Amino acid sequence: MSIACVARELGGEGPVILVLHGLLGSSRNWQSAGVALAEKGYRVVALDLRNHGSSPWAEDCSYPAMAEDVEVFLDQQKWGPVHLLGHSMGGKVAMRVAVERPDLVSRLTVVDIAPRAYSDRVREEFRAMNALDLTQIKSRKDADALLTPLVSDWGMRQFILTNLNQSPEGQWRWMVNREALTRSLPQILGECLSLEEKFLGPTRFIRGGKSNYIRDEDFPLLQKHFPQTDWVTLSESGHNPHFEARAGFVDAVLA
């Protein structure tokens, strides 16, 4: 069963670009990049996917379920086909939407992810989140200190901590459905398309030159599923080009 995802207007008027965030992200992560895209003459809207941000929680974290949420949202908006942009996990959701409902997608942009299975690298972050005793936290600084022995990378710790907030009673809690996402990691890290599925519309893959999420050997797979595809490499960026190379990223999305 689909759920009603929460949408965030990031500004602008004109043709719609709908943004889908990555695992443990939310629409808030796209505020700056969304504004930059909106300044180029587009209306930019970002969704909180199920179990993330302000959207409802559900046990099913599969790509078909997340894609259905997006499809129902677009059907309700009656915008017609939109430019669908997805990053990482959101890129896999976007690919599923495109092959299932090509009538909803005028153009597909996938950011630093391929439709293949990935290793369990992100389990480190989930192990850290699951090990964090929220009853011991009095401030975000406390949470950062407790995470430091578990996640050495400062940037990754800050990203994890964007999912932590306080209830009106002052209790710290996760904004993501940590338990369901942990159980669903094999699905989330797995393939998102079947062998014969294709999207025949214009498609662009954007990859970070310092990232290994899209490798040169992935290109035949991208062309198999997306015959009208091309790709752009932002050499100075890692896995998050909308943060790390924003100007080049905006140009790559709109070119």
Let me know whether 18 and 136 are in one domain: no
Let me know whether 112 and 174 are in one domain: no
Residue 54, domain member (yes or no):
yes
Number of domains in the chain: 2
Q: What pLDDT, in 10s, does the model give residues 212-237?
A: 999 999 999 999 999 999 999 999 99
Let me know whether 217 and 95 are in one domain: yes
Residue 1, domain member (yes or no):
no
Let me know whether 129 and 107 are in one domain: no
The Cα-based distances of 21 to 114, 123, 200 in angstroms read: 15, 18, 23
Q: Which CATH number covers residue 81?
A: 3.40.50.1820
Residue from 164, 157, 167, 189 nearest 178 by CA: 164
The pTM (predicted TM-score) of the whole model is 0.94
- 179 counts as catalytic: yes
* Structure token digits, residue 141: 């600084």
Q: How far apart are CA 147 and CA 55, in angstroms?
A: 25
Let me know whether 55 and 141 are in one domain: no
Q: What range does the domain containing 144 cover?
A: 123-183
Let me know whether 110 and 204 are in one domain: yes
- 2 counts as catalytic: no
Eight-state DSSP code of residue 52: S
Q: Catalytic residue, from 21, 83, 225, 239: name it.
A: 239
Residue 163, domain member (yes or no):
yes
Angle at 106 between CA 247 and CA 85, to 5 degrees: 40
Let me know whether 150 and 35 are in one domain: no
Eight-state DSSP code of residue 28: G
Q: Catalytic residue, from 27, 88, 184, 237: name it.
A: 88
- 71 counts as catalytic: no
Q: What pLDDT, in 10s, does the model give residues 187-219?
A: 999 999 999 999 999 999 999 999 999 999 999
Q: How far apart are CA 61 and CA 51, in angstroms?
A: 8
Q: In which band, very low, low, confident or very high, does the pLDDT at 241 lie, cut at 50, 70 and 90?
A: very high
Let me know whether 62 and 104 are in one domain: yes
Q: What pLDDT, in 10s, does the model give residues 111-166?
A: 999 999 998 666 788 888 988 889 889 898 999 999 999 888 888 899 899 899 98
77 Cβ contact list (under 8 Å, min separation 6): none
Q: Distance between terminal CA atoms of the chain? A: 36
Q: Catalytic residue, from 9, 59, 179, 236: name it.
A: 179
